[in-house]
Amino acid sequence: MEELNILSPGQRLKKIRKMLKLRQDELAGGKFSKNYISMFENNKRSINAINATYLANQINEFAKAKGKDLNITASYLLKSDVDMAKDKCEKWLQEVEFNLNTNDNSCNLNLFKIIHVSSKYGLNGFKAKALYLKGLLSLYNERHQCAMTQLLGALVYYAQENDFVYVSNIYEKLGIILYNKKQLGQALVYFNLSYEIIKNSKIINRDKLEELNYYIALCYYDLQQYIIAQKMLGMVETKSFKVSELSNRINRALVV
C-alpha cells in the first residue's frame, strides 16, 4: 500500500521531478547546481525555507507548462518524514471519526493505516486513539474479544498519560463487554472504576454517571440482587425507555 510509505523530503522532490520528467539540472535552474539537487534527493543534505520556496515555485511552473495541476508548497519539501506521518494519521483519524457509525470497512482500513504508521514512527497518541476507535467498532459489531484486546491496548497508553477521560470511557466499554459475556462480577468492577473516576474529576459529567448507574443496576438485577439494583436505578433521574423498562422488571421481581 503506497500511502503507508512515508517519503523523506528529498525522496518527495525526486518523485515529483520524475513525474514531471525533469532532469536535475533543469529543476536546479540558475540558482543551484545539479549536485545540490542530487544530494538533497539522496538525503545527504538538508534544505532551508528559502531554497524550498524556490524549488516549489520551480516545480509549479514546470507543472503548469506541462498541463499538470500541481500546487507544491515549501512546507512539503521541509517537513520531515515524522511530520508527514503525523499529517497522514491526522487525516485518516478525521475520516474515521466522521464515518465511525456508517462505514465499518473504510474505518477499519484507515485505523489499520494509523496503527501501522504510528507504530513505525513512535506516534503513540495516534496509535492509542486508533486502538480505542477500533475497539468501539468491534464492540458495535459484537466482536467482543477483539474489542477487549484493542481497548486494553489503548488503556495502557492513556493510563500512562493520566488521561482520565479516556481511561474512564475504556473502563465503561470493558464493563459492557464483560456484561455481554455474562461475566457480571467483573463487569461491575469496571463500571465502578469508571464511576469513581468521573465522580472524583474536576468537572463531573452527570449524564455519564447516570449511564453508569444504569449499567450497575442492570448487573445487580441479573445477579438477582434486586434491592441494590433498585437503589442504583433510583439515582438515575433521566427516565428513558430502557431505564423505565428495567425499573418495571425490578419491581416485578421484588413483588414475586
Residues 94 and 71 in one domain: no
Domain limits at 16? 2-78
CA dist., res. 205 & res. 227, Å (int): 26
- 70 and 88 fall within a common domain: no
- Helices marked H in 66-222 — which ranges? 74-78, 81-99, 104-121, 124-140, 144-160, 164-180, 184-199, 206-222
| Three-state DSSP class for residue 135 | helix
- pLDDT value, residue 106: 86
Can you give the CATH number for the domain in which 198 is found?
1.25.40
pLDDT (0 to 100) of residue 98? 84
pLDDT score at 101: 67
Question: What integer pLDDT is reported at residue 210 of this predicted model?
Answer: 95
Counting as low any pLDDT under 70, the low residues of the chain are 1-2, 101-103
Say what the pLDDT of residue 2 is: 67
Using the CB atoms, write b or e for 158-183: b if 16+ within 10 Å: beeeebbebbbbbbbbbbbbbbeeee
Cα separation of 127 and 202, whole Å?
A: 27
CA distance 31 to 139: 58
Q: Distance of alpha carbon 228 from its chain centroid, rounded?
A: 37
23 shares its domain with 51: yes
- In this predicted structure, what is the pLDDT of residue 177? 98
Q: What is the pLDDT of residue 11?
A: 94
pLDDT at 100: 75
Over the stretch 214-240, which tens digit does the pLDDT of each residue have? Answer: 999 999 999 999 999 999 999 999 889
> Is there a single domain that holds both residue 44 and residue 60?
yes
233-251 per-position pLDDT tens digit: 999 998 899 999 999 999 9
